[in-house]
């Protein structure tokens, strides 16, 4: 009989431990799913709110929260601080979708919300070009987007012809090659730049064949042949090389590959060539655990105290707005911390 009871107790101990472990896994999964959903929904709500408060401005929202995921096998449930990320693209009211930013406050930007603290950065900036030939405007619009290039005034005339009015003798000056002053919303002049976009843009600027190749890709999506662009003519026009593409060298003539030293310098501090919030971070965890034991004639009392906290430090790499150098700014941020304080008391009575 005692053997049967012993086997039953052993089975309860084994299967009970398995059930508790499975319950812990389910709780762990549920917490992770809940925190992830919360981050995504908060990011979208932020975007909706921005569309009301700042209409016409394209703002991308990134929500990051460090949450405590307890360890079921730990006496106090101490586990780890796990980051959860949710992001939502800019939400713009439909009647303002075609509007173009006219001042710096309306430029596209990204908002990083890390544990309740916001960090705002522009993802594009204005760049002015002077004396652009009229025939080159189509190439600028092909590379930067037609909605991101507009004329701000007349430029200098590249070829003037003088003649006299046969009736009055008044001198008449005719401009055969007029130019325009233009303003560009350039995604490579904001505080945060995407490396892949910048390289692609520079290749299209310095290499007409690369420009033509990208232009032809756009023609493939056009169903009406009348709306197809003459890519060879558009990309054959001259244009100014911006500062971030300057000093380039061609490394592969077949694949139109280039080295752009300014871009390489901008991204040298990031191993993955990214700006903005870096994917790697540092966590510092401190655990203070104490046990107090008191023995009296009536029994033994023990008190466990645990004080646990984790601080996560992240880096944000940006380029100063308006800067035309290869220098960047690295900012370390560690807003908020995940912590847990708990006291547990037990008493054993003398028999």
Q: At 16, is the pLDDT very low, low, confident or very high (cuts 50, 70, 90)? A: confident
**Rounded to the nearest 5°, which phi and psi values hold at 165?**
-65, 125
Cα 267 from Cα 58, distance rounded (Å): 25
Selected residue with higher pLDDT from 101 and 254 = 254
Cα 324 from Cα 314, distance rounded (Å): 26
Highest mean pLDDT among 89-93, 206-210, 250-254, 336-340: 206-210
- Predicted pLDDT at 351: 45
Cα 72 from Cα 21, distance rounded (Å): 7
Cα 74 from Cα 287, distance rounded (Å): 13
Tell me what the mean pLDDT of segment 136-153 comes to.
91
The string of pLDDT tens digits covering residues 268-301 is: 988 889 999 999 999 998 888 888 888 887 788 8
Residue 55 pLDDT exceeds 70: no
- Predicted pLDDT at 295: 83
- Predicted pLDDT at 44: 87
Give the chain's mean pLDDT. 85
- Predicted pLDDT at 127: 93
The string of pLDDT tens digits covering residues 306-325 is: 888 999 999 999 999 989 88
* pTM, entire model: 0.82
Residue given tokens 């190439």 in the structure block: 139
With vertex at residue 168, the alpha carbon angle to CA 166 and CA 174, rounded to the nearest 5 degrees, is 65
Burial of 307 per CB tally in 10 Å (0-12, 13-18, 19+): middle
119: tokens are 């960090």
The string of pLDDT tens digits covering residues 233-243 is: 999 999 999 99
Residue 1 pLDDT exceeds 60: no
- Predicted pLDDT at 225: 67
**Rounded to the nearest 5°, which phi and psi values hold at 138?**
-65, -35
The string of pLDDT tens digits covering residues 203-247 is: 999 999 999 998 998 888 766 666 788 899 999 999 999 999 999
Tell me what the mean pLDDT of segment 77-87 comes to.
88
Tell me what the mean pLDDT of segment 137-154 comes to.
91
């Amino acid at each position: 009989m005692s053997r049967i009871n012993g086997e039953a107790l052993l089975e309860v101990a084994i299967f009970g431990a398995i059930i508790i472990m499975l319950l812990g896994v389910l709780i762990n999964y549920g917490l992770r799913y809940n925190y992830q959903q919360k981050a995504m929904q908060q990011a979208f709500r932020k975007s909706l709110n921005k569309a009301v408060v700042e209409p016409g401005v394209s703002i991308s929202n990134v929500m990051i929260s460090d949450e405590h995921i307890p360890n079921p096998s730990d006496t106090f449930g101490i586990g780890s601080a796990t980051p959860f990320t949710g992001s939502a693209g800019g939400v713009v009211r439909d009647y303002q979708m075609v509007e173009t930013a006219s001042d710096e406050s309306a430029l596209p930007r990204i908002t990083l919300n890390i544990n309740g603290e916001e960090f705002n950065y522009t993802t594009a900036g204005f760049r002015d070009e002077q004396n652009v030939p009229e025939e080159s405007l189509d190439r600028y619009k092909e590379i930067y987007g037609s909605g991101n290039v507009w004329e701000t005034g007349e430029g200098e005339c590249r070829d003037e012809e003088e003649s006299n009015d046969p009736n009055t003798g008044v001198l008449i000056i005719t401009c055969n090659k007029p130019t325009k002053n233009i303003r560009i919303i350039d995604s490579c002049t904001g505080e945060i730049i995407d490396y892949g976009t910048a390289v692609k843009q520079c290749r299209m600027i310095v290499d007409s064949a690369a420009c033509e190749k990208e232009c032809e890709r756009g023609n493939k999506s056009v169903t009406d042949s009348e709306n197809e662009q003459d890519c060879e003519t558009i990309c054959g026009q001259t244009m100014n090389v911006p500062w971030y593409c300057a000093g380039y060298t061609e490394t592969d003539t077949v694949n139109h590959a280039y080295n752009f030293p300014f871009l390489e310098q901008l991204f040298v501090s990031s191993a993955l060539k990214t700006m903005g919030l870096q994917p790697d971070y540092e966590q510092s965890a401190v655990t203070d655990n104490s046990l107090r034991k008191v023995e009296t004639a009536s029994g033994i009392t023990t008190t466990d105290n645990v004080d646990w906290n984790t601080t996560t430090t992240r880096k944000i790499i940006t380029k100063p707005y308006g800067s035309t150098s290869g220098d960047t700014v690295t900012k370390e941020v560690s807003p908020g911390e995940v912590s847990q304080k708990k006291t547990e008391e037990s008493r054993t009575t003398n028999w």
